[in-house]
Amino acid sequence: MAGIVFLRTQKLEEITEFFQKQIDCSNWLSQPDCTILRHGNFLFGFCTRDTVQNDVMLTFFYHSRAEVDRMYKRLQSRAESEPVENEKYGIYQFFARDPENRMLEFQYFDHDLPPFLSSDELLLTRRSIRRFTDQPIPESLLTSVCDLSRFAPTARNSQPYYLKLVKDNDVLKRLAEVRGASSAPIGRAPIAVAIVADPAISKRHIQDGCIAAYHLLLAAWTYGLGTCWIAAMDRDDVKELLGIPKDHYVATVTPLGYPEGDPPAMPERKGLDHYLRE
Ligand SMILES: Cc1cc2nc3c(=O)[nH]c(=O)nc-3n(C[C@H](O)[C@H](O)[C@H](O)COP(=O)(O)O)c2cc1C
C-alpha cells in the first residue's frame, strides 16, 4: 500500500524537470495534466491548475550528513541557509525553495528510524558492514529481523534452516578469531547470527541455508541493522563453539549491529552487459 500527495502547479513541465534534475526524483507516472514523481518511498504529484499551491513543505531525507551537504552544494543558490543541526528533532537540515516558491527541506535523521526503504533502495543500499556501534539491539527489533527471515524460499518448502543467536562476548571474540581478518567483523558487533541448515530435512540444505542467510541480511538492513557475510564458517570449531551438530551446514555467521559512521561507499559493480549473456 502507498499514498500520493498532489499539488497544484502552473508550470508542470518546469517544476517536474526541477525535481527530476535537481532532486533526483524519477517520473513514476504521467497522466493527462498531472505528473507523479518518486523519491524513494515518497510519491508526490503535480497537476496543472489555475492557481499554484505553495503553502506546503516537502521534506526529503537522506542516509548521511554527507548527502545533505551534497544537496546543499547543488541547491546553494536556492537555499535559505547552510545545513545546521536541529537538536529538538535530532536532525541535520537546510531549507530551499522550488521554482514556484514551495519550501523544501533536506535532512538527515541523526538517530535510528523505523523501516522506510523502498524495495529497490533496500537492494541498492545494503552493504557489508564491518564496524558497529556499542548500541544494543532492542529485543523486539531482533525478533522482527528473525521473523522476516522465515519467508525465504526453500526447496519443496522444506524449511530446513534455523538461527543461532550469539550474544556472549567471549563466544563472539572466539568466533571473530577463527578466520583472522575475514571473520574479525564478528568481534566488533553486539550480536552474531549463525544461519544453519539440517541435511536430514532437505537435500538442498546448502542452497536453502544460503538463501535464508541472504534473506536475513536484507531483513536486518530493512531495520537499519548492518551485517556481513562471513564465509567458510562451516567448520567443526565453529559448530563446537555454538553447539551445532557436526552434520549441519553453517551457511554463514554474520555480525549484527548498528553500523558505525556513514554507510560505506558501494564497491564498484560491473555493468549490465557483464551479467546478461547470450
Ligand atoms: C560468499 C561470500 C563470502 C564473503 N566472505 C566474506 C568474509 O569472509 N569476510 C568479510 O569481511 N566479507 C565477506 N564477504 C563480503 C564481500 O566482501 C562483499 O559482499 C563484497 O565486497 C561486496 O560489498 P557489499 O556487500 O557491500 O555490496 C563475503 C560475501 C560473500 C557473498
Same domain, yes or no, for 81 and 206? no
For residues 130 and 84, state if they share a domain.
no
The verdict on 70 and 142 lying in the same domain is no
Nearest to 262 by CA among 162, 166, 129: 129
Establish if 116 belongs to a structural domain.
no
**Residue among 122, 218, 228, 256 whose CB has most ligand 1 atoms within 8 A, to mutate:** 228
Grid cell 524537470 is found at 17
Asked if 19 and 35 count as a contact pair (C-beta separation under 8 A), the reply is no
Determine, yes or no, domain membership for 277. Answer: no
Q: What sections of the chain are H helices per DSSP? A: 12-23, 65-75, 119-125, 139-148, 169-177, 205-222, 236-242, 272-275
Which residue carries 564491518 as its cell?
Answer: 130
Residue 1 has pLDDT above 90, yes or no: no
Q: Which atom of ligand 1 is nearest to the CA of 182?
A: 9
Using a 6 Å CB cutoff, which residues line ligand 1? 127-128, 130, 182, 185, 228-231, 267
User: Is residue 268 in a domain?
Assistant: no
Domain at 41, CATH number? 3.10.180.10
pLDDT at 278 (0 to 100): 86
Q: Where are the beta strands (DSSP E) in the chain?
A: 5-9, 26-30, 34-39, 42-48, 57-62, 84-86, 91-97, 103-109, 161-166, 191-197, 226-227, 249-257
Domain enclosing residue 131, as ranges: 121-257
Number of folded domains that form the chain: 2
**Same domain for 138 and 105?**
no
Q: Specify whether 83 is located in the same domain as 135.
A: no
Q: From CA 173, how far away is CA 179, in angstroms rounded? A: 12
Among 75, 109, 143, give the residue marking a domain's end.
Answer: 109
Evaluate whether residue 226 is within a structural domain: yes
Separation of CA 221 and ligand 1 centre (Å): 15
pLDDT at site 245: 98
Question: Would you say residue 269 lies in a domain?
Answer: no
Q: Which of 89, 109, 129 is the last residue of a domain?
A: 109
- Residue 250 included in any domain: yes
Distance from Cα 156 to the centre of ligand 1, integer Å: 28
Start-to-end CA span in the chain (Å) = 37
Q: Locate cell 489555475: which residue?
A: 50
Confirm whether pTM is higher than 0.75: yes
Atom of ligand 1 nearest to the CA of 267: 23
**In this structure, what CATH number is given to the domain that contains residue 150?**
3.40.109.10
Using CB atoms within 10 A of its CB, is residue 193 exposed (0-12), middle (13-18) or buried (19+)? buried
Contact 271, 260 (CB under 8 A): no
Whether 199 and 136 share a structural domain: yes
Give the closest residue (by CA) to ligand 1 atom 3.
231
Rounded-to-integer distance, Cα 52 and Cα 102, Å: 9
Q: Is the C-alpha dihedral spanning 182, 126, 65, 137 positive or negative?
A: negative
Q: Do 88 and 127 lie in a common domain?
A: no
Query: Is 266 part of any domain?
Result: no
Minimum CA distance residue for ligand 1 atom 21 = 267
pLDDT tens digits, one per residue of 41-75: 999 999 999 999 999 999 999 988 999 999 999 99
Q: Report the C-alpha gap between 253 and 177 in whole angstroms.
A: 13
Task: Name 161's bridge partners.
Answer: 197
Q: pLDDT tens across 73-96, in order?
A: 999 999 999 999 999 999 999 999
Decide if 163 contacts 194 (C-beta within 8 A).
Answer: yes
Choice from 121, 127, 128 to test ligand 1 binding pocket (greatest atom count within 8 A of CB): 128
Which among 47, 79, 109 is the end of a domain?
Answer: 109
Report the candidate in 165, 208, 215 with the shortest Cα–Cα distance to residue 190: 165
In a domain, 35, yes or no: yes
User: How confident is the model over 3-48, as pLDDT tens digits?
Assistant: 999 999 999 999 999 999 999 999 999 999 999 999 999 999 999 9
CB contact set of 142 (below 8 Å; sequence gap of 6+): 165, 191, 256
State mean pLDDT over 115-126: 93
Residues 146 and 91 in one domain: no
Which atom number of ligand 1 is nearest to the Cα of residue 127?
26
